[in-house]
Amino acid sequence: MTIQTRVIFAICYLILCPFIIGLLDGFDRKISARMQGRRGPSVLQPFFDLKKLFEKEFLTANKSQLFMIRSYLCFIVLSGILFFAGFDLLLVVFSLSTAAMFLILASTSTHSPYSAQGTHRELVQIMSCEPMELLVAVGFYLAAETFNISEIIAGTASPYIMYLPGFFVGFVFILTIKFRKSPFDIATSHHAHQEVIKGVTSEMVGKEYAMVTLAEWYENGILLGIVGLFFLTNNILSVIGAVAAILVVWFLEILIDNTSARVKWQLMLKLAWGVTIVAAGMNLFLLEIIKG
Amino acid sequence: MEMLVTALICLPFLWAILPAVIHNSKCRAFFVYLGCGIVIVLSVFTAVQWYLAGGQTLDFDLPYREAFDGVILFGDLFLMCLITYLSFKYKKGVISLLAIVQTLLVAGLEFFGPELEELPALRFDWLTLVMILIIGVVGSLIGIYAVGYMHGYHIHHHKELTDRRSFFLAMIFVFFGAMFGLVFSQSLIWMYFFWEITSVTSFLLIGYTRSDEAINNSFKALWMNLLGGCGIAAAIAVGILAFNTVNLYDIINLAIEHGTGAHTLIFLLPIACLAFAALTKSAQFPFSGWLLGAMVAPTPSSALLHSATMVKAGVYLLIRISAAMADNYVGNMVALIGGFTFLAASCLAISVSDGKKVLAYSTISNLGLIVACTGCGYEETIWAAVFLVIFHAVSKSMLFQCVGAIENTTGSRDVEDMQGLMAIFPKLAVILMIGIAGMFLAPFGMLISKWAALKAFIDTSSVYVSSLMVLFICFGSATTMFYWTKWLSKILGASPKEKSRDLTKKNEYISMFFHAFMMVALILGFPWLSENVLKPLSEDMFGTVKQVISYQNIIIMIVLLVGVFVIPCINYLMTKGTKAKQVITYMGGANVGDNFNFVSATGDPKEMHIANFYMEDIMGEKKLFTPAIMISTFIIIVYMIIVVGGAF
- What's the pLDDT score for residue B148? 85
B618 and B572 co-located in one domain: no
Number of domains in chain B: 2
> Has residue B592 been placed in a domain?
no
Average pLDDT over residues A101-109: 91
C-alpha–C-alpha distance, residues B14 and B377, integer Å? 38
Q: Which of A171, A280, A97 is nearest to B482 (CA)?
A: A97
> Has residue B587 been placed in a domain?
no
Those residues whose C-beta lies under 8 Å from the C-beta of residue A189, and which sit 6 or more positions away, are A196, A197, A198, A199, A262
Task: With CB atoms and an 8 Å threshold, state whether A104 touches B455.
Answer: no
B565 and B457 co-located in one domain: no
Percent of chain B whose predicted confidence (pLDDT) is above 70: 98
For B366-418, write each residue's pLDDT tens digit: 999 999 999 988 888 888 899 889 988 998 899 999 998 898 888 888 999 99
- What's the pLDDT score for residue A34? 94
B417 and B520 co-located in one domain: yes
> Has residue B311 been placed in a domain?
yes
For B158-191, give one letter per residue: b (16+ CB within 10 A) or e.
eeeeeeebbbbbbbbbbbbbbbbbbbbbbbbbbb
A85 to chain B: closest CA residue: B556
> What type of residue sits at position A181?
K
Least confident of A53-62, A79-88, B184-193, B339-348: A53-62
pLDDT > 90? residue A123: yes
pLDDT > 80? residue A229: yes
pLDDT > 90? residue B351: yes
B564 and B623 co-located in one domain: no
Task: Give the DSSP H or E segment for B599.
Answer: strand B597-599
Q: Shortest CB distance from A59 goes to which of B475, B581, B613? A: B581
Q: Which of B577, B595, B623 is the last residue of a domain?
A: B577
B558 and B617 co-located in one domain: no
Q: Shortest CB distance from A134 goes to which of B477, B493, B552? A: B477
> Has residue B117 been placed in a domain?
yes
What average pLDDT does the structure give for chain A? 91
C-alpha–C-alpha distance, residues B316 and B321, integer Å? 9
- What's the pLDDT score for residue B581? 85
A207 to chain B: closest CA residue: B580
Task: With CB atoms and an 8 Å threshold, state whether A61 touches B618.
Answer: no
CA dihedral angle for residue B139, residue B219, residue B620, residue A200, rounded to 10 degrees:
-20
Q: Confidence band (pLDDT; 50, 70, 90) for B119?
A: confident
Chain B contact set for A60 (CB, 8 A): 580-583
Cα distance from B292 to chain A (closest Cα, Å)? 25
What average pLDDT does the structure give for chain B? 88
Q: Confidence band (pLDDT; 50, 70, 90) for B460?
A: confident
> Has residue B23 been placed in a domain?
yes
* Backbone angles phi and psi of B60, in degrees to 5: -160, 170
Q: Which of B577, B594, B618 is the last residue of a domain?
A: B577
pLDDT > 80? residue B259: no
> What type of residue sits at position B238?
V
- pTM reported for the whole predicted model: 0.94
Cα distance from B350 to chain A (closest Cα, Å)? 11
Task: With CB atoms and an 8 Å threshold, state whether A58 touches B578.
Answer: yes
Task: With CB atoms and an 8 Å threshold, state whether B454 touches A138.
Answer: yes
DSSP A202: T
- What's the pLDDT score for residue A122? 92
Q: Which of B577, B599, B627 is the last residue of a domain?
A: B577
C-alpha–C-alpha distance, residues B17 and B172, integer Å? 11
Q: Shortest CB distance from B492 goes to which of A109, A114, A129? A: A109
B440 to chain A: closest CA residue: A98
Task: With CB atoms and an 8 Å threshold, state whether B585 touches A111.
Answer: yes
* Backbone angles phi and psi of B187, in degrees to 5: -85, 130
Task: With CB atoms and an 8 Å threshold, state whether A142 touches B560.
Answer: no
> Has residue B584 been placed in a domain?
no
B165 and B194 co-located in one domain: yes
- What's the pLDDT score for residue B156? 76
Task: With CB atoms and an 8 Å threshold, state whether A134 touches B494.
Answer: no
Chain A contact set for B567 (CB, 8 A): 71, 74-75, 78
Task: With CB atoms and an 8 Å threshold, state whether B610 touches A58.
Answer: no
B533 and B556 co-located in one domain: no
* Backbone angles phi and psi of B189, in degrees to 5: -65, -40
> Has residue B603 been placed in a domain?
no
Q: What does DSSP say about strands A59-60 and B581-582: parallel, antiparallel, or unpaired?
A: parallel
- What's the pLDDT score for residue B595? 81
Q: Confidence band (pLDDT; 50, 70, 90) for B263?
A: low
B480 and B565 co-located in one domain: no
Those residues whose C-beta lies under 8 Å from the C-beta of residue B218, and which sit 6 or more positions away, are B203, B204, B206, B207, B293
Q: Shortest CB distance from B489 goes to which of A87, A119, A128? A: A119
For B514-564, write each residue's pLDDT tens digit: 999 998 888 888 888 888 888 888 888 887 777 777 788 888 887 887 788
- What's the pLDDT score for residue B171? 92
Least confident of B346-350, B362-366, B597-601: B597-601
pLDDT > 80? residue B483: yes
B300 and B394 co-located in one domain: yes
The three-point CA angle B238-B242-B248 to 5° equals 60
> Which of residues B232 and B590 earns the better pLDDT score?
B232
Which spans in B90-210 are helix H? 94-112, 126-133, 140-152, 165-184, 188-206
> Has residue B281 been placed in a domain?
yes
CB pairs under 8 A between A and B: 189
Task: With CB atoms and an 8 Å threshold, state whether B580 touches A88.
Answer: no
pLDDT > 70? residue B195: yes
B376 and B473 co-located in one domain: yes
Note if the bond before A183 is cis, omega within 30 degrees.
Answer: yes
Domain residues for the domain of B568 are 547-577
pLDDT > 70? residue B349: yes
B40 and B152 co-located in one domain: yes
B551 and B614 co-located in one domain: no
For B593-634, write each residue's pLDDT tens digit: 788 888 888 888 888 888 888 988 888 889 999 999 999 999
Task: With CB atoms and an 8 Å threshold, state whether B494 touches A111.
Answer: yes
Does residue B47 contact residue B133 with C-beta atoms inside 8 Å?
A: yes
* Backbone angles phi and psi of B23, in degrees to 5: -110, -10
